[in-house]
Structure 1
């Protein structure tokens, strides 16, 4: 099967961990072992990943150095795509004993300059703060901020993907049996000008939305949205919480889930499953079992699979 596996940025750098290369590599090594099982089972794998903590950190570093010369979010997105892609590529090669080809593709993603997401930022980036510290930083830097659980974080625009202009390059790699790390951090956000040329914009596209879009474009058989939670739960966080083994797209869209956590994953899964294929949501370490329908939450049309 052709499988798109999306790894959350917070799974690569868990909440409360130091924002260091060592911490990220340790988490990537764990992720690579789970992903390697999919490849060894003879599936064709395309890996996507989040970058919320990492792109926020780079933005902070740039502002601390020379705020008037800070790089825009599209350039920072490209930096994180290369940085995280390098770690995943190397650790995946190590986990596979260098027996399979792996490559990272810096992936541009076209968005609509008139997308309403630019006016209402929702994408969390960077570290967590107390409300008072977040408000102080927002005043100083002109940020938008929002609550993220018990903490506060910066939010930026998150427009919807419209087109992946690098799709042809990705297909060439897949035709040659390469495991590709693509559309990292939601891809590099660009808009198309009247003359057809592309230019970057200030945004971070949602990784789950891009993963579902990419999976449809390359006609993937399955989409895995991998996180640090075993499944989607009814009444999550309560004493009566129960994991949900399977959902139809209609049932999934009827659930009320937090917009900043599981909500985007379920939306992406439902969008992909509506095409007649299967999506799975669950713990990263269970990746192969989720693909095989033995773990996580399966989202598929009634009677599919």
Structure 2
């Protein structure tokens, strides 16, 4: 079975973690331990978030006195793909001796006229107190949004339209390679209508929506979205919190999950199932094997009664 695995940014830097290389390596080792059993039995394509990492690089770039203009988000996204991809590839190489492993820096096509460019919603970087967030907004020209009890930078998140390297990915997979790709949602680019020339854009594509598109284009059987909760909940964090263990795309959308947290994951799972008839699931990283074997997480399945 071909499985696209989408790792949340918390898999590499959890809330409260220092962004040190050693901390990220330790977290990556935990990720690979959770995925190794799946990799023995199935064909995996791994993608990952990059919110904490790209936010850190953006801050460093904005404060670097050697730069006249800070690096744009598309270039910073490429940097995070290389760094996180290298960490994952090394750990997978050690856990799966003899297996072909490759990290592919990947571009994601978006529309230049996507309304998201006028309405930034995607969180990147660390959490700040309100006073620091206001100061950064004034000094850097950043848009800030509330994330839980704190504030984080928000940037445009256009809808992914295509994966530039799809054919290359097919060739790698057909050759038996375990591929890490489309990290952070892929490097966002627009394509010239006449020449097809690519241009990077100042945005971050949602990792889960890209994962759904990637799974569709690669004809995957299963989309596995891994995060820091054991399943999807309605009324999360309230006295009415209830687990959702099984749902159709319509049922998942009807629950109205928040845009800044579970919403994109629910939408990604729903899109993949609707468009392909495959299965998707959302659950905790450490239960990856159990989720695929229907012993944990939230399973999203086609609405057979509606056909």
Q: Helix, strand or coil for the counterpart of 1:86? A: helix
Deviation at 1:303, TM superposition (A): 4.2
User: C-alpha separation between the residues in 1 aligned to 2:253 and 2:42?
Assistant: 29
Q: Helix, strand or coil for the counterpart of 1:223? A: strand
Q: Name the structure 1 match of 2:261.
A: 261
Q: How does 1:155-304 map to 2 (within 5 A)?
A: 155-193=154-192, 194-274=194-274, 275-303=276-304
Q: Name the structure 2 match of 1:124.
A: 123
User: C-alpha separation between the residues in 2 aligned to 1:210 and 1:2?
Assistant: 17
Deviation at 1:34, TM superposition (A): 1.0
User: C-alpha separation between the residues in 2 aligned to 1:76 and 1:240?
Assistant: 40
Q: Name the structure 2 match of 1:107.
A: 106
Matched, 1:75 2:75: yes
Q: Helix, strand or coil for the counterpart of 1:121? A: coil
Q: Helix, strand or coil for the counterpart of 2:134? A: helix
Once the two structures are superposed, residues 159-195 of structure 1 have per-residue CA deviations (whole angstroms, 9 ceiling, x without a partner) of 0111111111111100100000010010011111242
The answer to which of 196-205 and 67-76 deviates more is 67-76
User: C-alpha separation between the residues in 2 aligned to 1:238 and 1:189?
Assistant: 36
Deviation at 1:239, TM superposition (A): 3.5
Once the two structures are superposed, residues 41-82 of structure 1 have per-residue CA deviations (whole angstroms, 9 ceiling, x without a partner) of x21000000001100100100111135332111110000000
Q: Name the structure 1 match of 2:139.
A: 140
Q: Helix, strand or coil for the counterpart of 2:68? A: helix
Unpaired runs of 5+ residues, structure 2, are none
Q: Helix, strand or coil for the counterpart of 2:230? A: coil
User: C-alpha separation between the residues in 2 aligned to 1:238 and 1:122?
Assistant: 24
User: C-alpha separation between the residues in 2 aligned to 1:118 and 1:239?
Assistant: 36
TM-score by length of 2: 0.96
Q: Name the structure 1 match of 2:38.
A: 38
User: C-alpha separation between the residues in 1 aligned to 2:44 and 2:100?
Assistant: 11
Unpaired runs of 5+ residues, structure 1, are none
Once the two structures are superposed, residues 65-103 of structure 1 have per-residue CA deviations (whole angstroms, 9 ceiling, x without a partner) of 13533211111000000000000111111122x221110
User: C-alpha separation between the residues in 1 aligned to 2:204 and 2:278?
Assistant: 27
User: C-alpha separation between the residues in 2 aligned to 1:239 and 1:94?
Assistant: 44
Q: Helix, strand or coil for the counterpart of 1:158? A: coil
Q: Helix, strand or coil for the counterpart of 1:68? A: coil
User: C-alpha separation between the residues in 1 aligned to 2:37 and 2:144?
Assistant: 39
Q: Which stretches of structure 1, 4 residues or longer, exceed 6 Å deviation after superposition?
A: none
Once the two structures are superposed, residues 202-257 of structure 1 have per-residue CA deviations (whole angstroms, 9 ceiling, x without a partner) of 01000000000000011100000001100001221123422211001110010121
Q: Name the structure 2 match of 1:52.
A: 51
Q: Helix, strand or coil for the counterpart of 2:93? A: helix
Q: Helix, strand or coil for the counterpart of 1:69? A: coil
Number of aligned residue pairs: 302
TM-score by length of 1: 0.97
User: C-alpha separation between the residues in 2 aligned to 1:113 and 1:12?
Assistant: 31
User: C-alpha separation between the residues in 1 aligned to 2:196 and 2:181?
Assistant: 23
Q: Helix, strand or coil for the counterpart of 1:160? A: coil
